[in-house]
């Protein structure tokens, strides 16, 4: 069977969708010797990343042109038997069995603005259309699966929950020398809380900063943040308004290969997001033995269980209390570190790949 994969997301600088595709493709190519994977890229610069796969460049990065104009014809020219769309939407006129992975249904959350309006309008349409037309749907958590059924009416028989896992690179041993060099390079002299991800309303960064302002006088930790700033026009004003200029370190974009050293350098990983389809950064941090504070909402209790310090993300006081407790209690940090390492073992990309392959076979009627 020739399985075509929309690999456009490899153009993204970072993010959960890209992590998902990279890790899943690597695992599928390792466990599946019976099928041929054909990856459709935006550009030839992505060629060679996945040995064993057939690779095609469509020569365009615009997502509408790629998905709607270029990809349908390419699926036919390359004689694809099954089309796989790994990030919540699909192209029109697929003309063959298809599988779509739903990463989250955040575009439908009206309580707070999570994405830019044009993206929201387009993706609401695209997700509903994919839920209706795809042969099979994969949800990355039970929370996402419930949202998918509730919002789109997708029938239970064609939806499957397949959990993600941290990439193997996050479990590699990071030496004390490597963490010391990383900290020196980024000016991280003191112990610090770490947040990774973009600066957007769903990530609840304003509440985290307010909570850190309450906690800062009671603990000698800094707060370090990574990620894009497309949503962060007010970020510097928030920091100055709280008087945190000397305690908040904005690291910007950290290349993927340095992420294990970043996690290992942190004393505590904090993830007070309001809405999450899965919450992969929680497992990435735990894979390095870093204790985690995260939200008690959406998919995060499903992912973290009792291995993280869970807080109500809408309560600045609850987040602040959690920061102080973890900063001041080395025993609690050690306990959560051990629980986190055990929790990570529940998730495997090999398992996810085998489950995904089973969905492919069901979709193709094999």
Q: Are residues 146 and 8 in the same domain?
A: yes
The answer on pLDDT for 218 being more than 90 is: yes
Q: What is the pLDDT at residue 227? A: 74
Q: Do 199 and 278 share a domain, yes or no? A: yes
> Is 114's pLDDT higher than 80?
no
Regarding whether 151 and 202 lie in a shared domain, the answer is: no
Domain CATH number, residue 321: 3.40.50.2000
- Predicted confidence at residue 300, as pLDDT, reads 97
Contact 173, 202 (CB under 8 A): no
Separation in Å, CA 250 to CA 80, 230, 245, 254:
45, 14, 10, 11
Asked if pLDDT for residue 302 goes beyond 90, the answer is: yes
234 and 146 share a domain? Answer: no
Element (H, E) at 18: helix 16-31
Examine the domain organization and report whether 33 and 90 are in the same domain. Answer: yes
Structure tokens at 334: 């050690």
Q: Are 86 and 24 in contact (CB under 8 A)?
A: yes
Q: In the predicted model, what is the mean pLDDT of the chain?
A: 94
Domain identity same for 64 and 184? no
Q: Give yes or no: residues 38 and 157 share one domain.
A: yes
Answer whether residue 199 shows pLDDT above 80.
no
- For residues 176 and 160, state if they share a domain: no
Please tell me the predicted confidence (pLDDT) of residue 113: 67
Answer for the pair 108, 123: CB distance below 8 angstroms, yes or no.
Answer: no
Answer whether residue 105 shows pLDDT above 80. yes
pTM to 2 decimals?
0.91
pLDDT digits (tens, 9 = 90+) for 7-50: 999 998 877 889 899 999 999 999 999 999 999 999 999 999 99
Same domain assignment for residues 287 and 261? yes
Question: Residue 83 in contact with residue 4, Cβ under 8 Å?
Answer: yes
Residue 63 pLDDT greater than 60, yes or no: yes
- 227-284 confidence digits (pLDDT tens): 765 545 577 888 888 889 899 999 988 998 999 999 999 999 999 999 999 999 999 9
Range of the domain at 360: 2-165+348-364
Residue 343 has what DSSP assignment?
A: H
Residue 202: pLDDT band with limits 50, 70, 90? confident
Say what the pLDDT of residue 32 is.
97
Residue 119: CB partners within 8 Å, gap ≥ 6?
107
Q: Supply the pLDDT for residue 117.
A: 84
- DSSP H or E run through 236: helix 235-241
Q: How many domains does the chain have?
A: 2
User: Can you give the pLDDT at residue 124?
Assistant: 95
Q: How many whole angstroms separate alpha carbon 90 and alpha carbon 235?
A: 34
Tell me: do 185 and 153 sit in the same domain: no
**pLDDT-derived band at 327, boundaries 50, 70, 90:** very high
91, two tokens = 């192209």
Give me the pLDDT at residue 237, please.
84
Q: Are residues 20 and 66 in the same domain?
A: yes
Q: Sorting pLDDT into bands at 50, 70 and 90, what band is 110? A: confident
If asked whether residues 318 and 352 sit together in one domain, one would say no
Residues paired with 186 in a beta bridge: none
């Amino acid at each position: 069977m020739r399985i075509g994969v929309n690999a456009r997301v490899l153009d993204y600088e970072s993010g959960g969708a890209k992590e998902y595709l990279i890790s899943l493709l690597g695992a599928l190519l390792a466990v599946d010797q019976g099928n041929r994977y054909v990856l459709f890229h935006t550009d030839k610069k992505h060629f060679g990343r996945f040995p064993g796969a057939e690779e095609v460049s469509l020569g365009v990065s615009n997502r509408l042109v790629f998905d709607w104009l270029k990809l349908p014809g390419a699926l036919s020219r390359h004689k694809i038997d099954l089309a796989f769309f790994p990030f919540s939407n699909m192209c029109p006129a697929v003309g063959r069995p298809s599988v779509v992975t739903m990463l989250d249904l955040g575009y439908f959350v009206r309580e707070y603005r999570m994405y830019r309006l044009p993206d929201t309008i387009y993706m609401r349409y695209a997700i509903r259309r994919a839920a209706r037309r795809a042969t099979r749907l994969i949800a990355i958590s039970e929370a996402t699966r419930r949202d998918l059924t509730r919002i789109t009416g997708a029938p239970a028989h064609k939806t499957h929950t397949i959990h993600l896992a941290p990439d193997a690179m996050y479990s590699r041993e990071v030496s004390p020398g490597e963490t010391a060099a990383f900290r020196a390079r980024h000016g991280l002299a003191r112990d610090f809380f770490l947040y990774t991800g973009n600066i957007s309303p769903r990530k609840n960064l304003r509440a985290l900063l307010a909570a850190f302002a309450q906690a800062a006088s009671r603990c000698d930790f800094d707060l370090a943040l990574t990620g894009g700033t497309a949503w962060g026009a007010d970020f510097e004003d928030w920091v100055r308004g709280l008087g945190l200029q000397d305690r908040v370190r904005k690291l910007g974009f950290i290349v993927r290969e340095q992420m294990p050293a970043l996690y290992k350098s942190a004393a505590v990983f904090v993830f007070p997001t309001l809405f999450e389809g899965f919450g992969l950064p929680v497992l990435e941090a735990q894979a390095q033995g870093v204790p985690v504070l995260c939200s008690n909402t959406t998919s995060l209790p499903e992912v973290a269980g009792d291995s993280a310090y869970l807080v109500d993300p809408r309560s600045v006081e609850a987040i602040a209390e959690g920061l102080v407790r973890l900063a001041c209690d080395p025993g609690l940090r050690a306990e959560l570190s051990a629980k986190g390492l055990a929790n990570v073992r529940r998730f495997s990309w090999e398992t996810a790949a085998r489950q995904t392959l089973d969905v492919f076979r069901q979709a193709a009627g094999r």
